[in-house]
Structure formats: C-alpha cells, structure tokens
Amino acid sequence: MAEVKVEELLDEVTVRMPGGEELRTRGRRRTVRRRAALVAAAVAVTGGALAMAALARGGEGGRDIRPAATPTKNPFLVDGMVRLLPPERMPAAGKWQWTGDEEETTENHPLPRVGGRDSCPASYAERSAPDQTQYGTEYDSDEGAARARHRVTSYESGAVARREAALLEEALSECGLQRHGKGAAGHWSGTTESASWLRVEVERWGRWVSVVEVEVEESARGR
C-alpha cells in the first residue's frame, strides 16, 4: 500500500460538531475543573444575557452550566453549554488516537496565538487582548508526536470577534499556512517555522470564534 502522508489525511478531514443529545450525555459524565478566578469572573456582554460562567458540581456527576442568550442559534452552544469537540471528533482521530479526559482547560490562550510557540512565534507577540471568555480542550496522540486543540472564545461584540479572527488569519499566513476551500468547509494548513505540520479551522458566529487545530511534529509527518 502506498504511503499516505499525514498532511494528506488532515486535508481530507471534515469536522462534525456533536449534536445536542450527545453533548448533554457527555456533559453528565464529564468532571470539569475550573479555576476559582474564572468561576468568579463576570463577563461583560453588549446588550446580551450572558453574565457569568457558573459551575455546578456534584462529584462524578457534576456538569457545567453556562447561561446563554441564544443557544438555539449559536452553533457553539447547546442548552447553554459550550460545544467542545471530544477526541473522537478531532481531525485525524483514527490515525492519532487522541487521548485526554475531555476536561475543559482554563488556560488563557488568546487569539491570534496558534500552534506552538516555536511554530508560529509571531502569533505569540505581546499585545493588549480585548475582554474575552475562552473555553478549550487539548488532546495528545498516543505517542506524543501530535497535539489537537479546540478553543471557543466569546467577545464583547461581533465587531471585536471579526477583528480577532482577521488577526488570526494574518498570523496563519505569516506562519506559512495557506487557505484551502471557502466558508465553513475551508481550513488552513502548511509547514510552520519549526517544520511541524499545522492544520487550522476558524469559524465565527456573531461574537463567538471557534478554532480547531492539529499540529504534527516534523519527525512524525511521514507516518
């Protein structure tokens, strides 16, 4: 059988977001650890109803509850909960066997940061980021040669989200990635400054921005 490079596999992937019932089922079995600072932080919303990220826990059955203004229309929310991709829905899951406990991370990784610090260093330049609330999760391959990340970020307004998404696309281009396809089906991919392979999907809805990325180390690209 001819060798299939990882970049070819990644370029053919279509990410499907989990449905409402699946998300609710996963939420019931998910243990979410949140930093106290995030739980207590108020979220400023322009003319909206999203006021705080609130945590309700009850041991192993604890679930995350986040009020939302329009969960029925926002593609990143279901019943007020942010939709984060589980490992089996991340790109190239069959190849890399993403591992992780589906816990939501609270690390602040604001746009336009993308990939590793050595991969796209310009995107890590210090800047005054706008007010935001970010939800995310990360997974590693079984051998640690690849990493997948999903971030969903909420901003004060659609104008701010549009500006931040534009900055991210500029950073992707500067990092050496190229745009493939159009609209929601499009994605960015290419070789970074550290010679890793990076694939990124960017989707915006109103004041929300979703970023799905997979980075594969140079040593593993031919697998």
Number of domains in the chain: 1
Is 1 a domain residue? no
pLDDT tens track, the chain, 223 positions: 444 454 554 554 445 555 555 555 554 444 333 333 333 333 333 333 333 233 222 333 333 334 444 335 799 988 888 989 999 999 999 999 999 866 666 567 899 999 999 999 999 999 999 999 999 999 999 888 999 999 999 999 999 999 999 999 999 999 999 999 987 779 999 999 999 999 999 999 999 999 999 999 988 876 6
- The whole-number pLDDT of residue 86 equals 92
Torsion 7-190-111-145 (CA) sign = positive
Whole-angstrom Cα distance, residue 221 to residue 4? Answer: 10
Is 20 a domain residue? yes
**CB proximity list for 81: less than 8 A, separation 6 or greater:** 23, 24, 27, 63, 64, 65, 66
Is 19 a domain residue? yes
State how far the alpha carbon of 161 is from the alpha carbons of 79, 115, 158, 207, in Å: 22, 20, 5, 5
Is 165 a domain residue? yes
With tokens 């070819």, the residue in question is 8
Q: Residue 202: give the domain boundaries.
A: 6-220
**pTM: predicted TM-score of the whole model, two decimal places:** 0.69
